[in-house]
Structure 1
Amino acid sequence: MLRLLTYLAESDAGLRADAVAARLGKSPSTAYNLLDTLVREGFVVHGADGAYRLTADANALVPPVSATAARLPTGLDGILDTLFERTHKRVYLAAAQSGRVIIPLARGRQGMPRIPGLGARIGENAHALALGKVALSLLDDAGIDRYARAGLRAFTPKTITDPDRLRTQLAAIRGGAVAFDAEEFREDFCCLAAPVLNVRGQAVAALGISMSARCFELERAELTEALCEVALQASVVLGVPEIPEDRRVLEPRAGANLRSATATSSDISIGEEVAS
């Protein structure tokens, strides 16, 4: 309900019920129930155009959109819908903003298991998550060293805690391999992730898919193909604009920047689900 209020506060034109369902990762009936409750309580009005909007009183209660909120290139929420339709798995879009790696968008059908302990921010768990590994792969060697020196925490027996092994995997991702974690953050949960590149070949976001360990074993090839195709669609068809450099991502104390090895003046926009 709180997320719904936030989404409505961010949309001057209002949101239709189907858009609310998509953003929350809930069924249309659940979206209608939430919206009807807010209408009955006087927080929301239902316009003649079908869109729902906050009332003036509700607007006064909802905090204004933060200047540090993720700025996502237009259309990436639609790309996430496409990835969900292709894979029928819980999917994520991650972005770097204000010194954090966050997941501002996620999609999943009601009943799909969520990764236990996955919050809205990726930090010290980056080495155990596919989306985090995409972000780490964009750091230079010194940045990776600083991250590793802080300690590679073991979240499960399969977490990579050897810095050299992590560097090898990050080098492969930098070379074009799809990032993955195989029960490294939580047992029986695996993920795949790939960057979304702008027209200059610089990473501006990352797309991810989570699944059970069995699905990872049986469907990895098909899911990898779908992920790469949708990421390419986002990069080429949408012509994603770059997001300005943020020098504090994943290194808030050291002040290092998160960027691709080929970038010179631009950064990425690359973890609990805020839209499911």
Structure 2
Amino acid sequence: MKMPAKLSLLLFILLINACGNPGRDKGLQQDSDTSSSKKDVVIDSSDVLENKVLSFEEQQSLTPQRVLDILKEGNEDFINDRLTIRNNSSRVRAASMSQFPKAVILSCLDSRVPVEDVFHRGIGDVFVARVAGNIVNEDILGSIEYGCKVAGAKLILVLGHEHCGAVKSAIDNVKLGNITALLSKIRPAVSSIKEFKGDMNSKNDSYVHAVCEQNVRLTVENIRKNSPILAEMEKNKQLIIIGGVYDMDSGRVTFF
């Protein structure tokens, strides 16, 4: 009886696979075993951060200066690649019913600035507000007031960063949809720099950096100016309002 052509072809393929190069199959098996073994990572329990999220009492015992020191110490850990493995599942459950963060960080939208990691913090440690150009408006001010006056955070950090696209766009006076209104809040930093040695354009990194720093300073001033609540807290030493710039190359935050 003549075998159908399709069935013959299928049997031929199966025969070839069954009689393949044993050495090659062995190599594939070894590669598979090696790949599998590479997935097995053993972590010493001492390397996993098991500490509980901050309690109300612990938050209240912190001074604004101590919170600033914690952020600086955490940034040193980040720079030197000393980030601790955190038991996030445990921390998620521990923080599910309450939160008592140490600080509020107003950062740019930029994905290259992983805010919690930059300061070696985790779930429940800091409030983070993100907006392109780390500008402040009524909604962000309200959020910061909640974080400090209501939830007890002891420090506000306005965090800019080098090579900021929003700052460059403000320098170039870009106009595009709702971006136009956002950039108008960065433009005062551009116009307030009257004297600068070098080209005053977005292609000059030194100039972009100068505008970035000025934008952070003006945002800090706007927080004090437009929020009597936060200004009073700072006056009463319940709060520190400070600025900083993140270095894209080193990961270091320079505070000022």
Q: Same fold (TM over 0.5)?
A: no
User: Which has more helix, going by share of residues?
Assistant: 2
- Normalised by the size of structure 1, how large is the TM-score? 0.29
- Normalised by the size of structure 2, how large is the TM-score? 0.30
User: Which has more strand, going by share of residues?
Assistant: 1
Larger RCO, structure (CA 8 Å, separation 6 or more): 1
Greater C-alpha radius of gyration: 2
